[in-house]
Chain A
């Protein structure tokens, strides 16, 4: 089945230790998004790729970076995780053909110790 896959589902990292979260999709969608969602809060868009074009939200900290080596894969790099970065990280995809409905992966829950 075509889908959005995120690995790992649960990630534990130490304060200040770089961590990478990965997302892959078999939907062949041209837009990929990374959201941060903390408990009882709305998903907050960090950045997105429209094809290869990277679009950073104005209030996304520099600590968060992203890479998209090809259509199928997108990575979220947190260079120096702080305790406040503990959250669920959601990857989503969309395309013009779906009215830009966003398809979400299962998320990666990040714990910072």
Chain B
């Protein structure tokens, strides 16, 4: 089976840096995604990691350690608009060939305060 753990809620100050952690236990692994979801809206893609290490994309960075089953999303220079839920999702190679279903964590609700 699959299990993905994230903190439920986090609060950070505008302009600061915040790290959102994700740990996973899966029978197989073929990549980890981070999505941002504002309240009442669809998830939007932020990052994809399949190899160990850090992927940087502007103010957002994502790190993966496959041996530890661990990832984090790092948000720098926080803005008020970054208040949202951040979903960690693991791609499951156990699905039908080529389909690569995603299993989502419950998400971390980030609140950015002035």
How long is the Cα–Cα vector from A51 to B35 in the complex, in angstroms? Answer: 25
**A50–B43 contact, CB under 8 A?**
no
B11 within 8 A of A: no
Near B by CB (< 8 A), chain A positions 1-59 give 31, 33, 40-43, 45, 48, 50, 53, 55
**B42–A104 contact, CB under 8 A?**
yes
**B98–A96 contact, CB under 8 A?**
yes
Given known contacts A42-B107, A53-B96, is B42 in contact with A102 (CB within 8 Å)?
no
**B96–A101 contact, CB under 8 A?**
no
Instruction: For chain B, give the interface size range.
Output: 20 to 34
**B98–A42 contact, CB under 8 A?**
no
Given known contacts A42-B104, A42-B107, A43-B104, is B43 in contact with A48 (CB within 8 Å)?
no
**B41–A50 contact, CB under 8 A?**
no
**B45–A43 contact, CB under 8 A?**
no
How long is the Cα–Cα vector from A105 to B109 in the complex, in angstroms? Answer: 21
Q: Which residue of the partner chain, among A40, A48, A105, A107, contacts B99 with CB atoms under 8 Å?
A: A48
Shortest Cβ distance from residue A71 to the other chain B in the assembled complex, whole angstroms: 15
B19 within 8 A of A: no
**B41–A107 contact, CB under 8 A?**
yes
Near A by CB (< 8 A), chain B positions 40-62 give 40-45, 48, 50
Contacts of B104 in A (CB 8 A): 42-43
Q: Provide 10 A-B residue pairs closer than 8 Å at the C-beta atoms, listed in order of the A residue.
A: A31-B99, A41-B106, A42-B4, A88-B40, A94-B100, A100-B100, A101-B45, A102-B102, A104-B42, A104-B43
B residues adjacent to A (C-beta < 8 A): 4, 31, 33, 40-45, 48, 50, 87, 91, 95-96, 98-107, 109
A residues adjacent to B (C-beta < 8 A): 31, 33, 40-43, 45, 48, 50, 53, 55, 88, 90, 94, 96, 99-107, 109
